[in-house]
Amino acid sequence: MIAATENNVGTFTVYNLYNTVRRKIHSHAMMYGDWTLASLPLGQFITGRHFENSRRTVRKSCEIKDSIKSTEAHIVSMRKRLSNANSEEEKRLAEIELERMLHRKAVVQKTFDYLEERAAQYETNNSPVTRTRAEAVDCYIEIHKSFKKHCFTIQKTPEVIEHLVKFDDMCTRGVDPKVIVHAIETVCA
């Protein structure tokens, strides 16, 4: 960066730096690509300030055509696979797999609804316990271990991911982890 320290960073351009470095190291490299950045002052290029205006215009001009939650990406890709199936056999297999995924999603939803119901019952019958953040984390870990053991794992059932925050919420609200662990064992056994 010898060239930048010898000159004013505000007026020294990216192209000037390229030529200076090329001469110093006796390079035969040639400049390719977009030359619009070459005229930028080095200070703007390094700090990224030249992108501020372009980011705003890009965001305004780009419309999102479709968006999905990452937890539903596998379902959407299966639907696309179903619509792009070339043979009847491919279509039948994709339909079966999609049906399984949707059924699994419904089962996960019902499981968490039941666990939420049990937590609400506990809260109406008992006064909530205030926990420190460390105690809430320990509570979450205890519940999550039981859930992985008796119900679903994230690897086999990606639909679980969007519901795991409910365990943290239960622990923060002061629900006894033993109540939730018992509910997990009841519903998933």
**Residue pLDDT tens, the chain, 189 long:** 454 555 576 678 888 888 888 888 888 777 777 677 788 887 777 776 655 555 444 445 566 666 777 778 888 889 999 999 999 999 999 999 999 999 999 999 999 999 999 888 888 888 877 888 899 999 999 999 999 999 999 888 888 988 999 999 999 888 889 999 999 999 987
- 120 is written with which tokens? 């609400």
Rounded CA separation 128/34 (Å): 62
Instruction: Please report whether residue 150 resides in a domain.
Output: yes
Rounded CA separation 22/90 (Å): 57
Task: Give the angle subtended at the CA of 120 by the CAs of 115 and 125, to the nearest 5°.
Answer: 125
- The answer to whether residues 167 and 151 touch, using CB atoms and an 8 Å cutoff, is no
Instruction: Please report whether residue 86 resides in a domain.
Output: no
Rounded CA separation 45/62 (Å): 24
Residue 151 CA to its chain's centroid (Å): 23
Instruction: Please report whether residue 78 resides in a domain.
Output: no
Instruction: Please report whether residue 168 resides in a domain.
Output: yes
Question: DSSP character for 129?
Answer: P
Rounded CA separation 165/163 (Å): 5
Place of tokens 């390229």: 18
- The answer to whether residues 102 and 75 touch, using CB atoms and an 8 Å cutoff, is yes
- The answer to whether residues 149 and 184 touch, using CB atoms and an 8 Å cutoff, is no
pTM over 0.85? The answer is: no
Task: Say whether both 52 and 108 belong to one domain.
Answer: no
Give the up-direction half-sphere exposure of residue 164: CA atoms within 13 A in the CB hemisphere.
Answer: 19
Instruction: Please report whether residue 87 resides in a domain.
Output: no
Instruction: Please report whether residue 176 resides in a domain.
Output: yes
Rounded CA separation 41/64 (Å): 33
Instruction: Quote the number of domains for the chain.
Output: 2
